[in-house]
A = this chain, B = another copy of it.
Amino acid sequence: MAAHPVSPLAPKSYPDLPAVAGVRFATAEAGIKYKNRTDVLLMAFDEGTVAAGVLTRSKCSSAAVDWCRANLPGGLARGLVVNSGNANAFTGTKGKKSVEMTAEIAAKALGCSTSEIFLASTGVIGEPLDASKFAGVLDETATRMAETPWIEPAKAIMTTDTFPKLSGAVLEIDGVEVKINGIAKGSGMIAPDMATMLSFVVTDMPVAADVLQTLLARHNQTSFNAITVDSDTSTSDTLLAFATGKAALEPITSLDDPRAEIFGQALSDVLFELAIHVVRDGEGATKQVSVHVEGAVSDESAFRIAKAIADSPLVKTAIAGEDANWGRVVMAVGKAGEPADRDKLAIRFGDLVVARDGERAAGYDETATSAYMKGQELELTVSLGLGEGRATVYTCDLTHGYITINGDYRS
């Protein structure tokens, strides 16, 4: 794979995430596909760690996704193995055997049951993954486990990503400091209505697995499920959360516990920041765009319209060209198939009203709008004037960079 230039939307610096009690990790170079970079992450959790997860709804999910789906109901986790360079997807019975072998190697290295091992793989689809490569590597990796620095696992899981993605929150509950650390990868094959490519979140909060699962699924909806880079949904989308319970607090065992709301909000912030990082590292991205739809007949309808706009190649190329082409936004509203009344439509770029009552706004200011479109973070709002439904989808522009990256990915 050719190296691609770092996204202009990359953060200027990366957060120095703190240790989370009960979580250790190390990375290694297994040489799966890339040279001279880490491509395997081994993470260990102390006994008593609970797990929750959201997985791709693709009908062609990867072997690792199938593995996680089978282990999640157990709710317990002791280890996580992630590799980049090969997705182990569409690899048939070979893929299933490869996953079983990897889990066995990891369970042995960490001294736990294979049902407590979670797996994720990302990279090219359709190539068999040789799990024997993990044999020596994971054993050796298990001897180097540390609590920091978190940028290392974020780097090991990258594929076409141009920057590592980290986010964390430290909150205080009943005077006790609680930490949430998250990492993510992904910059292509990203579409909402599923989870993201790969994201892992850990916390020391004592929280029951079912509560964690509910909070994760809820806040996934407005973070990873609300982003799209290219409308293509991965076979491998995996969002996993692990709670070690090491913070000195009584566990949250019910959503009615008022601390569930506080913890959930901090979790939501971490998920949202990671999701936005994914968009900002969208393949070829030069602009980040928030597409707001308001006044729809329902939130679901608003979401589908926002997604139609955010997925439209014509809208995305116009944004790349810094053209406030509201005609293409109208087109995307029209094709969404949701209730819309052309003559009630209003469209704003930032605070600038470009269209109102189904036609160009009387006070439309081409100069001001053109100046606004030169920004790196753009807000596009469509008001339908039909009801109270609203939703936001986050995306990036569509540039020559996307074509370049994806015209030569496999070779």
Contact = CB atoms under 8 A, between A and B. Distances in A.
Interface residues of A, number: 73
Interface stretch (A203-211, A258-266, A336-344): A336-344
A127 to B, nearest CB: 7
Interface in A317-348: 317-318, 320-321, 323, 325-328, 330-340, 342-343, 345
A235 interface: yes
A330 B127 CA distance: 12
A409 interface: yes
A357 interface: yes
Q: Tell me how many chains of this kind the complex includes.
A: 2
Chain A contact residues, majority secondary structure: loop
Contacts of A89: 327, 330
A367 interface: no
A125 B323 contact: no
Contacts of A333: 59-60
Interface string A133-172: 0000000000000000000000000000000000000000
Contact of A407 (B125, B317, B355, B408): B317
Interface string A178-195: 000000000011010010
A60 B340 contact: yes
A216 to B, nearest CB: 22
Contacts of A39: none
B320 A403 contact: yes
Contacts of A254: none
A116 interface: no
Interface string A111-139: 00000000000001111100000000000
Interface centre among A92, A328, A342 (most CB of B within 10 A): A342
Given A342-B59, A408-B321, A188 B314 contact: yes
A402 B400 CA distance: 9
The 9 closest A-B pairs by CB, nearest first: A125-B327, A60-B334, A92-B359, A58-B334, A321-B407, A317-B406, A126-B327, A233-B335, A59-B340
